[in-house]
Structure 1
């Protein structure tokens, strides 16, 4: 009896790399077509080893079966697992089958760090000039930011304005002195209301970044709406409890709320959104900066020191 989990009970993410255990489970009746409401081959493609991928691929009815609109090969490409992608292609998976936003796994891989993940046949569509430009900038931005730790960070990325413009729009005033130094040293020891009123502002190529390493203030509606007058602003709060929370505001109007930058593409995403999700997977910070068209040359706008620390005037930023 294989049980209610189809023979996969107790299998963690690392378990998808254990060929011996996977083969034993399959031989004992584990269902190669279903795991926890999903497909085992998709899980192995994203988290497993090429040997496990090959084993599962030979046991399923269709190596290109869909889960949430995508194939296992798509999952391997999105997860940055070139060995798994090659194993699936060798097992007969189609790298050039269009999926979300019209992208195929093979074409999407051309924008990533392993463009030779699968072989592109003659006549198959590659990247456009615009897509190559976006991909190059994506790789540059990710490299520039490096391994910045940004959990708990609040951010507003604004196109086309500088730090002085941002200060005027927010009616913010420069601040300095012992109280600021104390806040920067131990922000969580300070009064919450007072600490949330202090943000950093920095001019970067393409616009401005407003940041708060210890809180969500830059992403509050009353902040991003004011910053976005006549332009576009992407707000981000890297919530330690629930993950990245993003928002898009255009000329004072909210165009998107409770977004999840750094996550994978959604089934209804446009071609441009799919490419951005691939380039900035697991990196909500880079996604937010790129969305606003900003091109920082280093991570200073995020890690500090900013061009200026400023204090926001008292008002209800959740209402206006």
Structure 2
């Protein structure tokens, strides 16, 4: 093993101790390489401004990229304004284009610290982008913070709960049955509980939800709901994280997506903005993707407009 890598042995998740980082660097730790990553990128999201400044002064290029983005981009996306300022002070370029054509500086204009960097003349958000930002703030505030792992949800544009039930050919669930199920969802027969969903109308469309399972995101559900419209399916898997699907006009267009996971390489301009605004908020991302504008989180956590039962069929097929 090279001496430069030896200096990082035992380095964990905490990159805030500048004395420790300086000692490691002085002892031969490579400022360009740590466990397959760039140390400066790691410090941008997990370090202190002092550590960021120390590393920035030792690397060959403060704007070097990893997975297509600079350390400054990472600091902005991860909402670490002090680290972003330290990088800019070390020479990082806030206005260098990155994912989807966005620069760290311009993306920062959509975030909680729009005054992060001096803004050159002509750099601004469009009216459409400002509207997206405004709705993201309203939507995240309306939904609030709550635990949603284990939730399955389909966000359907342009149809109400009655039409969703018609498309799925559902039957109402008696109150006494739903009372028993809600008292102990995981003590209920799993095959039967998977067929019971809640349906709620909201401005912009409707939500089909299941607090205990993935049924609303099953292909056979999404394709039926999305006839002539758009649907975003979400399963907040407690084991592996949030999983998303897109259905349009009765066809699955995307699967194994990661709503709330932040911008990634290959995202479009609009996708980068949405992923930034709804980072770590998969439910809000799913609602926004389908154009749903709930005034609160009742459509997600209940009680829904109606509890209904799906007919027996193979929903694993499209």
Deviation at 1:117, TM superposition (A): 1.4
Residue from 167, 177, 186 that aligns with 1:179: 177
Secondary structure at the aligned position of 1:16 is classed as coil
Mapped to 2, the partners of 1:144 and 1:177 lie a distance apart of: 28
The answer on whether the counterparts of 2:94 and 2:104 sit within 8 Å (CA) in structure 1 is yes
Compute the TM-score of the two structures, normalised by the length of structure 1: 0.97
Ranges of 4+ aligned residues in structure 1 off by more than 4 Å: 1-6
Q: Would you say 1:137 and 2:130 are equivalent positions?
A: no
Bigger mean CA offset, 66-75 vs 140-149: 140-149
**2:157 aligned partner:** 159
Q: TM-score, normalised by structure 2?
A: 0.97
- Residue 85 in 1 paired to residue 92 in 2? no
Say whether the 8 Å CA contact 1:2–1:29 is kept in structure 2: no
Which residue does the alignment assign to 1:8?
8
**Counterparts of 1:113 and 1:148, CA distance in 2:** 21
Distance 2:9 2:273 in 1: 35
Q: 1:193 aligns with which of 191, 194, 197?
A: 191
Q: Partners in 2 of 1:183 and 1:5 — Cα distance?
A: 55
The aligned residue for residue 146 of structure 2 is: 148
For residues 5 and 269 of structure 2, the distance between their equivalents in structure 1, rounded to whole angstroms, comes to: 36
Q: Contact 1:6–1:35 at 8 Å: present in 2 too?
A: no
User: Which SS does the other structure have where 1:211 is aligned?
Assistant: strand
Q: Which is worse superposed, 39-48 or 4-13?
A: 4-13
**8 Å Cα contact 2:3-2:28 kept in structure 1:** no
How big is the alpha-carbon RMSD for the aligned residues of Structure 1 and Structure 2? 1.3
- Within a 5 Å distance, the mapping from 1:163-312 to structure 2 comes to 163-312=161-310
Aligned residues: 318
Q: CA deviation at 1:264?
A: 2.1
> Partners of 1:227 and 1:86 in 2: how far apart?
46
* Alpha-carbon distance in structure 1 between the residues aligned to 2:254 and 2:65: 28
Q: Secondary structure at the match of 2:15?
A: helix
User: Given that residues 77 and 85 in structure 1 are in contact (C-alpha distance below 8 angstroms), is that contact kept between their aligned partners in structure 2?
Assistant: yes
Within 2, Cα distance between the matches of 1:28 and 1:109?
A: 36
Q: Quick one: distance in 1 between partners of 2:10 and 2:137?
A: 37
SS of residue matched to 1:255? strand
Distance 1:230 1:4 in 2: 58
Instruction: Find the counterpart in structure 2 of residue 67 from structure 1.
Output: 66
1:245 alignment partner, SS class = strand
